[in-house]
Chain A
C-alpha cells in the first residue's frame, strides 16, 4: 500500500476537520446531543424502488440509507476515507482474489432476527452482482462469498480485483438486506423493496404517495444511545420554490440536495434561524461536462475540440451559473478527490483569439455570415445549471464562429436522443464521480460500450491507447501503481479531449439552527443520521 496516498489523504482529512471546527463552533464536543424530536425535511422525488441494494442512487439513499446500512460509510477522518458500519474491518489479499470482512456483532434486523454473514453473502451474490445498477460493473468478477462463521464474509473473485476499488465502492454499493426476507420469491417483486427492512437507526414507518415518508426510531439499534431523533418525516414538495417557503414558514427544518435553488440562497441565508451549508457532499461530486459526438467530421478534429475548450470561460461559469458554489475542472477526476486527482494535465485557458486561430488552422474558415459551421447542442434538463450552461455555451461558441442550435428536451427524451439515437453534436451532461474512476468515470471515454447505456461514451470516440490504459488500470492491484495509472488517464483525457470537463459541483443544504451534527461526513445527506439531533 502506498505511503504517499495515505499521507495525502490524512492531510486532507485533517484540513477538513479543521474547517469543520472553525465553520461550526457551536457544534463542539461540549454540546451533548439532545434526544427525541421529529425532523421534517423536504423531498423532491419519490423513488419507485426504495431498496438501495438494487438501486444505488442518491434519490434512493436519501431515504433508505437511514433504514438499510452499508458495510462501511465515507468519513472525513477514517482510514482510507472510511468509517465502519456493518463491517468492522476489511482486508484484501495480495493476489486480489479475495477480500475478508469482519462483521459487527450483536446487530439485529428490524424484525428482530440476527444479522449474519449469510445476509452479506446473499446481498452480494443475489443482488449487488446481478441486479444493482453499479454493482453489475464493480462486482462482475465476484464468484463466491464464503462464510466460515456468522461474523466473517470472504469475497472470492474469479479475476484479480483491485482492493482499492472495492474499498472505494463500499459506501455506495454495499447496502445489506436481510436474506430471510428476500430468499422467497422474485427479488424485484419483494414488498420489502417499497417498505425496506434493514439494520439501520430508523425503521420504515409509512409512505403516503405524494405526501410523505415516515421513518421511526429503531430502539434496538447497535449504536450506543443512537439514534437521537424519534422520527424523520420526508415531506414531498414537488415545486422548486416550496422548499424555501416551507423552511421560512418553519414547516420543515431541513432542505438537502439543493432543494432550495442557488438563486434563493443569498436571500434565505439572511433569514434568522436558517443556515446555508455547502459541506457534507464531498463524496457526491457532479461534473459539468461537454459531451462530444465524434461522428461529426468537424468534432473528430482535435483542433476543433481544443478551440471549443479555449472558448469556455470556466471561471465565469462557476461565478455566474453556479453563483460560486462550484469549482473549475481540469480533467475527468474532480479536484476534491483525495486519492486520484492530479493538476498536472494540459489546461485550456479562455483565449478566443487562439480558438479562432485553431479553427482557421483546421480549415474551417468563417463564412460570409461570420459562421464556420452549425452544431446541435443538447443541454441535459436534470439541473437548472446544466440548462443555463447550455445557454452560456451557445454564446461562447458564437464568439468563435460556431453556430450552436439549442435543443431542449425533457429527461427521458434527452437520454434517448444522446445515448441511444446519438442525435446530438454537443451535449451538456452531469456525470457523477463516485470515489473511484473505475465505477462510473472511465466509461465516459472508453470505446466499445453498447448503444443505449446512459452516462457512457456514446459519442463514437475511440482511442486505443486510452482504452489500453483503462484496461491496465482495471487489473492493476497495487494501490500506488493503480493511482498513477489514473493520473496518466487524466492527462490523456485532458490532452485528447474526448469530452470537455468544465466545472465540478455538489449540493447545498439549508437547515434550521436547531438541527445538530449536519454535514459531518462526505456523504452526509445519504448517510444513516444516527447522530443527527434536534435542539428544542
Chain B
C-alpha cells in the first residue's frame, strides 16, 4: 500500500503545477478571443451605451485582465470558483449540478467500450486470422470511422423516432417526480442511446489493441511452455495471453478519459444531456470566463485522478512498473 501512497504524493505535487498552467493558459486564451461576456449577452437584448457600461461594471469586465486573473487566482486559493456571469449563481453549484451526469455518461461509456471492446478483442485474438477475427476488426474500424454526432443522430432516428423504444434525449423524464429505484431505472433508460453513441466509437480502439496485443503474446515462449504443459486453449487464452495483452489497454484507459470528455461535448448536445461538456460549449459562446475556467479545472482534476487510479491499477497488475517509479 505504501507504494501507492508514494505515487499519490508525487502526483499531487506535480498536479498543482499542471492545474496552475491550465488555469492561466485558459484565461489568456479566452481573453484573446474577440468579444466579452457583455458582447455575447447583448446579442439577444440590444441596449444603449449606458446600459452596456452598467453591465460591464456589474460583471467586473471594466477591470484590467491582470487584475481579473489575480482576483480569480486569489479566490481560487480560498477554493472559491467565483460567480457565473451567465447563470448569476456560484460556479461551484452550477458545476456540481452537471458533474454527476457527465461522470455517469463517461463511466458507462468507458465501461461499455473497455468491457465489450476487450472481450471482443479476446474473442477475435483467440484465433487470429479467422473469419470472426476479420469480421470484428473490419466492423469495429467502420464504427471508429463514424463521427460521434452522426452516430448519435442515426440512433435517435432509428430507436427514438421510428421504433420509439427509447427517449430521444435528456437525462431523465421531465418533471416526473420519480424517486428511488424508479428514477434510477428512468435515468438508465435515458442513458442507453448516448452511452452507445459515445462508447461504440471507442470500442474499436480497445478491440484492436487487445487483438494486436494478443497476436504479439501468442508468439512468446511462455505460451509455448503453457501449451507444452498441456493446458486447455481456453486457459491459455484467458490466463496467459489475454492478461498480458491487457496492460497497454489500461494505459489507454487513462489517456482516453481526456478524449472522452471532449467527445461528450458533442454527445451531450445531440442528446440534450445537461452535462459539463455542453456547459463548456455554452460558457465559451457566452464568454463566461470564470465558468469555463471552473469547468476546465474540474475536468483537469478529473483526468488527473483517473490517470492516478490507472497508475495504481497498473502497479498492481504489473509489479515491475510501480516498483520502478517508487524506487527512483
Interface residues as binary, A20-32 with B (CB distance below 8 Å gives 1, 0 otherwise): 0000000000000
User: A59 to B45, alpha carbons, bound, how many Å?
Assistant: 9
The number of chain A residues touching the other chain, given as a range, is 35 or more
Cα–Cα, bound, A17→B313 (Å)? 73
In the complex, residue of chain B having the shortest beta-carbon distance to the beta carbon of A194: B88
User: Is A133 a contact of B45 with CB atoms below 8 Å?
Assistant: yes
Within B4-63, the residues touching A (CB, 8 Å) are 33-37, 39-52, 58
A48 within 8 A of B: yes
Bound-state CA distance A417–B279 (Å) is: 25
- Whether the Cβ atoms of B51 and A136 lie closer than 8 Å is yes
Segment of B65-73, B103-111, B162-170 engaged in the interface with chain A = B162-170
Distance from A343 Cβ to chain B, minimum over Cβ atoms (Å)? 28
CB distance from B289 to the nearest CB of A (A): 11
Q: Which of B51, B94, B160, B287 contacts A412 (CB 8 A)?
A: B287
Given A208-B274, A453-B48, residue A235 in contact with residue B170 (CB < 8 A): yes
The answer to whether the Cβ of A246 comes within 8 Å of any Cβ in the partner chain is: yes
Q: Which residues of B lie under 8 Å from residue A320 when comparing CB positions?
A: none
Known: A133-B51, A233-B174, A239-B269. A59 touches B168 (CB 8 A): no
| B80-119 to A contact mask, C-beta < 8 Å, 1/0 | 0000011110000010011000000000000000000000
Q: Convert B266-280 into 0s and 1s, putting 1 for each residue whose CB lies closer than 8 angstroms to a CB of A.
A: 000110101100110
Q: Give chain B nearest CB distance to A168 CB in angstroms.
A: 17
**In the assembled complex, A114 has its CB within 8 A of some CB on chain B:** no
Contact at A246–B274, with CB atoms within 8 Å? no
Asked whether B157 is an interface residue with its Cβ less than 8 Å from the other chain, the reply is: yes
Cβ contact within 8 Å between A249 and B274: no
User: Do residues B46 and A440 form an inter-chain contact, with CB atoms below 8 A?
Assistant: yes
B238 CB within 8 Å of chain A: no
In the assembly, what is the distance between CA of A59 and CA of B286, in Å? 15
Chain A positions near chain B (C-beta within 8 angstroms): 40, 45, 47-49, 55-59, 131, 133-134, 136-137, 188, 193-194, 205-206, 208-212, 214, 231, 233, 235-239, 241-242, 245-246, 248-251, 382, 409-417, 420-421, 440, 449-450, 452-455
Which residues from chain B sit less than 8 Å from chain A, CB to CB? 33-37, 39-52, 58, 85-88, 94, 97-98, 153, 156-157, 160-161, 164, 167-171, 174-175, 269-270, 272, 274-275, 278-279, 282, 285-287
- Beyond contacts A205-B175, A453-B48: 6 other A-B pairs, Cβ-Cβ < 8 A, are A56-B45, A133-B46, A194-B88, A209-B98, A210-B98, A382-B43
Interface pairs (19), CB distance under 8 Å: A48-B41, A48-B87, A55-B45, A56-B45, A133-B46, A133-B47, A134-B46, A136-B47, A212-B174, A235-B174, A242-B156, A242-B270, A245-B160, A248-B161, A412-B34, A415-B39, A415-B42, A415-B43, A416-B35
